Structure 1
Amino acid sequence: MKKIALLLFLLNVTFLFAQKDISGVVKDNSGSALPGVNIIEKGTNNGVSTDIDGAYKIKVKDGATLVFSYVGFSKLEKQATSTRIDVVLSEEGGQALDEIVVTGTRTAPRSNTTTALPIDVISAKDLASTGQASFDKALQYKIPSFNTVQTPVNDATSLLDPYEIRNLGPSRTLILINGKRKNMSSLLYTQTSPGRGETGADISAIPQDAIERVEILRDGASAQYGSDAIAGVMNIILKKSTNGGSATLRTGITGKGDGEMIGISINNGSTVGDKGFVNYTVDFSKVQLANRPGILSAQDESDYWGVPLATTQAFLAKKPDGGNVNGSPETAAAKFEVNGGSDLSENSKIYYNAAYVYKKVNSFANYRAPYWRTVESMPYLASLYGNGTPASYVGYVPTFIGDLNDYNATLGYKNVTNGWNTDASVTIGGNKQIYTVTNSQNRSYTDTNGNGKQDDFITEPFIYARDPKVYTGQTTFRPGGTSFNHLVGNIDISKVLTDKVSIGFGTEFRTENFEVIAGDKQSYDGMGADSFQGNDPANSGKFNRYNLGAYLDIAVDFTEDFLVNGTVRHEDYSDFGAANVWKLSSRYKFADDKFTLRGSLSTGFRAPSLHQIYTEKSQSTFSGGAIAVTGIISNVSTAARSLGVPKLTAEKSNNLTLGFGFKPTKNFNFTLDYYNIKVKDRIVLGNLVNGQAYFVNAIDSRTAGLDFVAGYRNIMLGTGKLALNLSGNYTLVNERVGSVKNPASVTALPGNQTVFNATQDALMFTSRPKFKYIFGGDYEIGKFNFSLNNTVFGPTKFKNADYSDPGLSTEFETKMVTDLGINFNATKSLSLALNVNNIFNVIPKYKITSDGSASANAIVNNPALLHAQDMNITFDGRYNTMSYDGFHFSQLGTMFNLSLNYKF
């Protein structure tokens, strides 16, 4: 703290320039106030946003120029010749090319017209128009290159769904809050789902009403921001409004009558003294279970388990859905966010933001049918889950409960002296998850009679082989959990040296701590708790590291049209070494700024996470149609060394982006960008080899594709105005490059075993949509606003491990999801919005296909053989939504959402 205080003192010992306060109101052509308009002192990072009434106040130097910008409106510059400047902004097309952004450069802010990089800007209004309940799902239906999907029956994955940009996994998109790094989650995805073997930030925890806008940089940015930015950067800008606020009551339900949601959110702000502001958001919500188990076939169950048909018929007569509870879990959440700041002097200020989120999620494992966990082999089940008689036992379904706490906070100081912009900040953040398993059992036993049977359980269940203590009838277990936190210090300095050259440089120091929290003995001893084994103390512990990074960024406007921007960065980690990366980008405008050519070439890196280095645990996985308990061994363990597993090193990338923008009129714009990303030494959670899995730099990959965005606004239709938008992402290449980098101990095994098999290859590459298009229209007339949005999800392909023939695959068809939104502004203060998402109740559909081989063709062309394969693919043929096998959007069908907003 003394060092920080000294730094702040030194930064304050500066020569002060005369400054003055400028205030005013920003409106649109109709006279309506525009909240959230960005106002920046040109050539600096000094900026504010308008409040809910369109009002603003900013302190600038004498003679300064103010730049006003807002998504969908023309940029406007005003000379600060008086203390009050009122502004009227004219509407522009779609995601306006001239929106001022702060993401993608470490020098002065630029507009989308003058930046050399592809950046999406999504306003709070855009997010709200989707009608989606969470921030990540709203982005799913606004950004074509962004994908996330709900993964049912995947244990802790139900706490936060994996997301990704450009099919590169959650670990390769860096999340920022007001330009500062947000903490990662403590959850490591270990199941067969997107992001397997990775972790990411919990963006679903961010309350939407706290967000002013989101800037998404679709380009590698490791040189500018450090690790985790191979695919791009998402910068979430929080609201700054101070006059008035709003309260929103929202409710919803699925077309099936379940998944009921209710929530309330309050956003408000005020000034603090004469020089400060604060804006805060409080959000409470509860979502009930949405269950999609399907109806089981008694004959299929009989064939699958090898039991008499009468047995399955008797069970399914009582539970036609097999007792399964899967789809969308019950979730309760409380979210708090605050954003504020205050002037210290005429050229310095402090700023801060903080957030805390609590989530509780209740989900379910697969139902243990009485012909799966049988009373004949475990007689005690009749007492544990019945009245003591065999006839009373009808199976059981373990539940999984997760308690998540996530927090982040930033305190910073800004100073402007002689045109030098200095920003010093400290950021903390953390995520902790504690798990509970109920309605379960531990199947370990001691055979004291020596007869190989579980007789001892009849009177004394749970006699542990490693502990003489007897646990009788225990059904609730505490498996432990995980925790992650970081501390980040940043110093960023920038200056516009001349009208052609600007410079930025800075440093970052970060410490990270990861903890595996041990479970109670009953949860891990022997076979552990059925469905989710606890963390053994031998595999638990606290792990940490630190790193120091520095960068230099120079931008040169050789002419008004020609820009070149270069960045270099050095990072040094305490646990695996250093990395050096660079980036070069350029932009050229011509034809009176109607055309813009842009491109970038860069190298990048991603440090292995502490989760990937130190995770060691037992887990339940599907194997050969049954659940097996397998293990993940730590990458730095003696077991890993004995298997010849090398220590993890950083992933390295080469990124190329080329694109252009076309804006022939003020109401129409179009951008097209090509990207090509090669990742070397990509870290994966390996396939099971002799019952063990581990992390290894196993593959190289290449991802290439096209992003396009088009918008046409202000189309007069009757007495209203229509706006159309079309955007899309098309994947040209997403594949492994070269052979798998198996450890020597694996290559020496018989049978061509590998740590990266066909199933993992499909999960990482072909199970992502080949393309995704979003076509929508907004029509404003009187007090009404109508929106219609169509999202086309391209085909995916998955190769399930349970197929009997390697030539078989699961292919999901191309589908279009249509969303309708109606907003009614009843009064100046009161508005009502109805959203019907997926109005045509479109559900992902798959078919089993052949690669053309004779053996695979024989199965596909034989209905009986094909049906048998369908029954054997990770339960999906029998249970509709048991796992992720390549489906690419929600399986819940139609959703109805209603919200009532009142402005104070």
Structure 2
Amino acid sequence: MGYRRSAARAALLASVSALGSGLILGLPAAASAQDAAAGQVDEVVVTGTRRAGVTLTESSTPVDVVSGETLQRQGASDLNDALKTTVVSLNVQKFVAQDASAFVRPFSLRGLPPDQTLVLVNGKRRHRSAVVQITNQPLAAGAQGPDLSAIPAIAVDRIEVLRDGAAAQYGSDAIAGVINFQLKRAREGVTAIARYGQFYEGDGEDYNLQLNVGLPLGEEGFFNVSGELSSSAKTSRGRQRPDAQALIDAGNTAVPDPAQRWGAPSVDAARLFFNAELPTSGTATAYAFGNFGQASAESDFFYRPLNRADVFASVPLTNQPGGPRFSFTSRFPGGFAPVFRSNMLDMSLTGGVKGEAFGGLRYDLSAGLAQNEIEFKLDNTVNPSLGPDSPASFRAGELQQREARLNADFVYPVETGMFAEPLNVAFGAEYRRETFEIKAGEPASYQAGRFASLTDPDTGRIIGLAVGSSGFPGYTPASAGAFSRSNWAAYVDLETEVVERLTVGAAARYEDFSDFGSTFNWKLTARYELFDGLALRGSVNTGFRAPTPGQSNISDVATNIDPLTGGLLLIATRPPTDPIAQYYGAKPLKEEESKNFAFGAVLDVAGWVLTADYFNIEVKDRIALTSRIPITAADRAALAARGTPAGDLQSVRFFGNFFDTETEGLDVVLSRSWPLDIGRVGLTAAANYTRSKVTNLRDARAVDRERRIEIGRFNPRWRGNVTGTWESGRWNVLLRANYYGAWVDAVPNATPTALSFDQGFGAEWLVDAEVSYQATENISIAVGADNLLDAYPDKDRRQAQINNGIVYPQFSPFGFNGGFWYVRLTGKF
């Protein structure tokens, strides 16, 4: 394995060096006179403001702009990874053996969970995923955010990331910020991209085919369509488990090697996006955009060793002493690790009309429908309680998220005579309805068979095997159902240049929800240009996030590692209305509330552009899953007396408004471009510092020490990157270094043991490189590497993790798969 990695890295370094040498020898003397950085400075942004013509440095709030071309200049097929390497305030991990989190990866912007960031497409709200993150995600536990991987990079013209609270402008979720995907609008041309890559270890093969076509629609309209086919294979970075190795040493030849795989899941996906506009009579334009995507993925669950009694215990087939017996060792003589599969479907359609009327009133009337669904299946597993009648594959159920919305937005510049510019008055209304649905699995995935509890005629003891498909018991009819809510909102958003060099904005929004009531939020912004090239900017705002129907109604049973013992835990997630949850104090959910303050400066001098912005976000009544609450023998008896037996569950969790947090930090971005004799050189450097802490805790059972520590230290406090580009003639070179600061993986126990203790992991630099060559007018070829120097995180030293075959920490902020090389062929016609 190590030899393959070294050979792959050496070959890649040689290729990059050869291409780099060719570039140096082939440099032309002349270079373009255009300054790329100046082009970025003059770029108009549409996120965070409804005033027309506002450029990047003129914005009163900080906005990052990532071009579609930048997204393509790396090996990642998943948009999550492409964004992580370019926006340093965004973090996202790859999760292993974490149920649906392995398929829908939760991201974090400015230290907050994914459902505290609003995602837009063409300025319209993007629907959330059907997945409620109920597995062991310290920052995202309980979150239900959008699935960014459903958006193919080739469909994106650019991404605007607003690093400021904006609930008063856009509504629920915009606490950490807003990510706005602007789709391509070309009305002619074809772009085709083929990319292949794999990790230095020789696994994780990644195939990616992308196509974008622009077509004219009428004389001035366009129909732009993008498609993507991708296939990513599994990786494996674990070691053989000690218990599995002991079986092998004892002569058991049926044990897999490794018995449990630690690595990325396999994913096969097909995605389609379109964007269209057609001018009609007068100044009106009809528009539509939408998507359809399908993905299937496969991950691995924890290994079930032969000494696990609730699976492999010998049970009698009759009630006669000395009668025949059965054990699943006959089916799995070497133990087994269940295989978890998902089929995901994502679709949306938005249509509307926009234009100008009544002497300057701009209007935008639109409607949208969307649906995200995920179906769960298991292979290579059993429902132990069914005994020899158990199937080996199960349909465990399905989750669906459906959303519908209506929007009416208006903008009118009012000449007041009081200000240096007209007062930009924006106002509008929105209606939304969303439904979260749980569909039950097949009966065998959740049924309690006759071996769930019985008396052993040979011993007289009561014995039993686990109930439900091992790894992920199916959703039961009792937990199934469709849960809906609706809301409407009205807003006003004002902005103007009050006097020369001073821009002021104010926004307010009222929103009413059918399930928890109403909320009112406001925002104030200001920007003052001290002199040409230097401006100060700031904002203060309130925000909120409404509890989702999914959070209020999800019910699930998951299997996790017990960090104290290394064993497996059956953890039930119950809605706040469930009798078991209410026994432990569950209450109906209410909205989260936030206060956001930001202050910064923009310097634009001699081609250098520097922005620095401080932010402080206080979130009250944060919605989250409790930590694992053990079900004691006394609790079990009390629940049984209430008519709500806990069965074989070992712990329970539920949603609640349990704690308050404060998050503060600093974002700094520096950019410059030089037209030189040897070509155009560009430099961008960015740094982010984010620190979070729990400021108020209402229930110590809900947020244990593990959760409190990881809210502040799970993500690196420091992130940064430096990107250099060089373009000359047919050659183009990119070199990027990403910095990930130190971070901590905490455990529940306050007293460290050899099995379990808080482990800190050191900082790391990852280097990416790409060299591309324009072979013909239409064809270019590129070779590159993500994590060129093959960096890995520190090894996990905790025995509880080692006992499960883990080498590197599961939640590393930059993964643990090592270096990845790729080649890319691009055709533009």
Percent identical residues: 29
Are residues 1:892 and 2:828 paired?
no
Aligned ranges for residues 66-215 of structure 1 at < 5 Å? 90-93=34-37, 96-193=40-137, 194-215=139-160
Change (3 A) 1:278 1:565: same
Change (3 A) 1:334 1:382: farther
Change (3 A) 1:89 1:612: farther
The aligned counterpart of 2:715 is 768
The aligned counterpart of 1:36 is none
Q: What amino acid maps onto 1:354 in structure 2?
A: G
Change (3 A) 1:695 1:89: farther
Give, in angstroms, the shift of residue 833 of structure 1. Answer: 1.4
Give, in angstroms, the shift of residue 834 of structure 1. Answer: 1.3
Match of 1:601 among 540, 547, 551: 540
Deviation sequence 1:34-57 (CA, Å, 0-9, x none): xxxxxxxxxxxxxxxxxxxxxxxx
Q: What amino acid maps onto 1:726 in structure 2?
A: A
Instruction: Work out whether residues 252 and 897 of structure 1, in 8 Å CA contact, stay in contact via their aligned partners in 2.
Output: yes
The aligned counterpart of 1:778 is 725
Instruction: Work out whether residues 384 and 390 of structure 2, in 8 Å CA contact, stay in contact via their aligned partners in 1.
Output: no
Change (3 A) 1:495 1:324: same
For the residue of structure 2 that corresponds to 1:880, the secondary structure is coil
The aligned counterpart of 2:790 is 841
Give, in angstroms, the shift of residue 559 of structure 1. Answer: 2.1
Match of 1:755 among 680, 686, 702: 702
Deviation sequence 1:696-740 (CA, Å, 0-9, x none): 100000000000100121152x52222111101012x310002x2
Give, in angstroms, the shift of residue 879 of structure 1. Answer: 1.8
Instruction: Work out whether residues 802 and 873 of structure 1, in 8 Å CA contact, stay in contact via their aligned partners in 2.
Output: no
Gaps of 5+ in 2: 1-31, 318-323, 416-420, 449-466, 632-650
Instruction: Work out whether residues 75 and 197 of structure 2, in 8 Å CA contact, stay in contact via their aligned partners in 1.
Output: no
Instruction: Work out whether residues 227 and 605 of structure 1, in 8 Å CA contact, stay in contact via their aligned partners in 2.
Output: yes
Q: What amino acid maps onto 1:206 in structure 2?
A: I
The aligned counterpart of 1:413 is 353
Are residues 1:809 and 2:758 paired?
yes
State the alpha-carbon separation in 2 of the partners of residues 424 and 370 from structure 1: 62
The aligned counterpart of 2:599 is 658
The aligned counterpart of 2:167 is 222
Change (3 A) 1:661 1:188: same
For the residue of structure 2 that corresponds to 1:223, the secondary structure is helix
Deviation sequence 1:646-693 (CA, Å, 0-9, x none): 21110000000100011111x211100000000000011001223221
Deviation sequence 1:90-122 (CA, Å, 0-9, x none): 424288333201110234341122210000011
Give, in angstroms, the shift of residue 285 of structure 1. Answer: 1.1
The aligned counterpart of 2:273 is 337
State the alpha-carbon separation in 1 of the partners of residues 622 and 529 from structure 2: 37
Give, in angstroms, the shift of residue 404 of structure 1. Answer: 0.3
Aligned ranges for residues 848-887 of structure 1 at < 5 Å? 870-873=798-801, 875=803, 878-880=805-807, 884=810, 886-887=811-812
Change (3 A) 1:314 1:781: farther
Mean CA deviation greater in 889-898 or 670-679:
889-898
Deviation sequence 1:49-69 (CA, Å, 0-9, x none): xxxxxxxxxxxxxxxxxxxxx
Are residues 1:696 and 2:656 paired?
yes
For the residue of structure 2 that corresponds to 1:444, the secondary structure is helix
The aligned counterpart of 2:573 is 632
Deviation sequence 1:497-534 (CA, Å, 0-9, x none): 23331110001100000001111111112321101111
Deviation sequence 1:410-452 (CA, Å, 0-9, x none): 101112011100000001111000010111111226xxxxxxx
Instruction: Work out whether residues 260 and 337 of structure 2, in 8 Å CA contact, stay in contact via their aligned partners in 1.
Output: yes
State the alpha-carbon separation in 2 of the partners of residues 875 and 228 from structure 1: 40
Instruction: Work out whether residues 762 and 793 of structure 2, in 8 Å CA contact, stay in contact via their aligned partners in 1.
Output: yes
Gaps of 5+ in 1: 1-87, 303-308, 446-456, 462-471, 743-752, 849-869
State the alpha-carbon separation in 1 of the partners of residues 582 and 799 from structure 2: 40
State the alpha-carbon separation in 2 of the partners of residues 630 and 874 from structure 1: 22
State the alpha-carbon separation in 1 of the partners of residues 53 and 469 from structure 2: 54
State the alpha-carbon separation in 2 of the partners of residues 186 and 230 from structure 1: 21
Deviation sequence 1:285-312 (CA, Å, 0-9, x none): 111111222244x4xx49xxxxxx9646
The aligned counterpart of 1:504 is 426
Change (3 A) 1:315 1:547: farther
State the alpha-carbon separation in 2 of the partners of residues 240 and 214 from structure 1: 14
Change (3 A) 1:393 1:903: same
Deviation sequence 1:738-757 (CA, Å, 0-9, x none): 2x212xxxxxxxxxx61110
Change (3 A) 1:802 1:377: farther
Give, in angstroms, the shift of residue 379 of structure 1. Answer: 9.3
For the residue of structure 2 that corresponds to 1:644, the secondary structure is coil
Q: What amino acid maps onto 2:263 in structure 1?
A: G
Deviation sequence 1:119-141 (CA, Å, 0-9, x none): 00111111112332121111100
State the alpha-carbon separation in 1 of the partners of residues 125 and 576 from structure 2: 26
Change (3 A) 1:146 1:316: farther
Give, in angstroms, the shift of residue 371 of structure 1. Answer: 3.8
Are residues 1:719 and 2:683 paired?
no
**TM-score normalized by structure 2?**
0.86
Change (3 A) 1:346 1:359: same
Give, in angstroms, the shift of residue 793 of structure 1. Answer: 0.2
**TM-score normalized by structure 1?**
0.79
State the alpha-carbon separation in 2 of the partners of residues 898 and 94 from structure 1: 31
For the residue of structure 2 that corresponds to 1:152, the secondary structure is coil
For the residue of structure 1 that corresponds to 2:83, the secondary structure is helix
Instruction: Work out whether residues 312 and 329 of structure 2, in 8 Å CA contact, stay in contact via their aligned partners in 1.
Output: no
Mean CA deviation greater in 536-545 or 497-506:
497-506
Instruction: Work out whether residues 436 and 483 of structure 2, in 8 Å CA contact, stay in contact via their aligned partners in 1.
Output: yes
Aligned ranges for residues 517-528 of structure 1 at < 5 Å? 517-526=439-448, 527-528=467-468
Instruction: Work out whether residues 704 and 748 of structure 2, in 8 Å CA contact, stay in contact via their aligned partners in 1.
Output: no
Change (3 A) 1:371 1:715: farther
Are residues 1:565 and 2:505 paired?
yes
Q: What amino acid maps onto 1:524 in structure 2?
A: Y
The structure whose RCO (Cα within 8 Å, separation 6+) is larger is 2
For the residue of structure 2 that corresponds to 1:537, the secondary structure is coil
Count how many residue pairs are aligned between Structure 1 and Structure 2: 742
The aligned counterpart of 1:9 is none
For the residue of structure 1 that corresponds to 2:577, the secondary structure is coil
State the alpha-carbon separation in 1 of the partners of residues 220 and 746 from structure 2: 60
For the residue of structure 2 that corresponds to 1:694, the secondary structure is strand
Aligned ranges for residues 736-751 of structure 1 at < 5 Å? 736-738=694-696, 740-742=697-699
State the alpha-carbon separation in 1 of the partners of residues 298 and 581 from structure 2: 35
Instruction: Work out whether residues 172 and 545 of structure 2, in 8 Å CA contact, stay in contact via their aligned partners in 1.
Output: yes
Deviation sequence 1:468-505 (CA, Å, 0-9, x none): xxxx1411111102100100111000012233311100
For the residue of structure 1 that corresponds to 2:351, the secondary structure is strand
Aligned ranges for residues 218-257 of structure 1 at < 5 Å? 218-257=163-202
Q: What amino acid maps onto 1:668 in structure 2?
A: W
Are residues 1:396 and 2:336 paired?
yes
Give, in angstroms, the shift of residue 591 of structure 1. Answer: 2.1
Q: What amino acid maps onto 1:196 in structure 2?
A: A
Instruction: Work out whether residues 187 and 217 of structure 2, in 8 Å CA contact, stay in contact via their aligned partners in 1.
Output: no
State the alpha-carbon separation in 1 of the partners of residues 325 and 664 from structure 2: 57
Change (3 A) 1:674 1:393: same
Deviation sequence 1:218-253 (CA, Å, 0-9, x none): 000000000010000000000010121111111111
Are residues 1:619 and 2:541 paired?
no
The aligned counterpart of 1:707 is 667
